[in-house]
A and B are shown apart, each in its own frame.
Chain A
């Protein structure tokens, strides 16, 4: 199962605006994708409720994982989003 751990770049963390951008992209992907904080339980990257409840802060290390055909591309796309400042 492909996964990648990245540092969240958005200055306010994964809150309303960055979370919306992230979840919107995740929902467009054809495979299940999860997001987890270091040592935490993975949640669905396609759920605003779950992503916002995860309370990801700027500088946190998070792991994106996906399964199935196209999982590599999915992980790369989402990891790329997390590494850019979505609030800029």
Chain B
């Protein structure tokens, strides 16, 4: 099943290559996109429905029912802020709807503190090729940011494996 990843923030959708951090820009954490957030107090929302498996002030991970995890990282090097300026709205372990509020912060304050508020949204453990339809330009929190296509790991065995059962029912 393909899943649609919503923008957690309001701002401008940009490619990961534009993120001012080589680890995110080089997709070492994973493929995805980023949001250059509007410089105003705003609340980051869940990019997908699922469980809030990890919640830090500056970053969180939501895991879908089928096991896929999305990391939202609010700003670059913001771990060094020790939570200052971030107000947690949700609680780790919560079951969230897509679009449900998670953390309130002000990207303008982060920027004033000398850090980039650009926020990567990462498909953890995804193949780069599984990500498409990446948004470009203005986004409002909850708008689609990109698509994550299903892994179809079982298909990698090739058509022959699937054909073994005849003309077959596909389980998908």
Q: For residue A81, give the distance in angstroms from its CB to the closest CB of chain B.
A: 14
- Whether, in the assembled complex, B6 has its beta carbon less than 8 Å from a beta carbon of chain A, the answer is no
Q: What does the 1/0 interface line of A1-23 toward B look like (CB < 8 Å)?
A: 00000000000100111011100
- The verdict on A12 contacting B124 (CB below 8 Å), with A21-B28, A49-B69 known, is no
Interface size on A, as a range, is 10 to 19
A19 CA to B23 CA in the complex, in Å?
10
B24: nearest chain-A partner, CB-CB: A16
Question: Which of B37-45, B53-61, B110-118, B158-166 contacts the other chain?
Answer: B53-61
Cβ contact within 8 Å between B30 and A48: yes
Pull 24 A–B residue pairs with CB atoms less than 8 Å apart, ordered by A.
A12-B79, A12-B80, A15-B59, A15-B79, A16-B24, A19-B29, A20-B23, A20-B29, A21-B23, A21-B28, A24-B28, A48-B71, A48-B124, A48-B125, A49-B53, A49-B124, A52-B54, A52-B61, A52-B69, A52-B71, A52-B124, A53-B53, A53-B63, A53-B69
Interface residues of A (CB under 8 A from B): 12, 15-17, 19-21, 24, 47-49, 52-53, 55
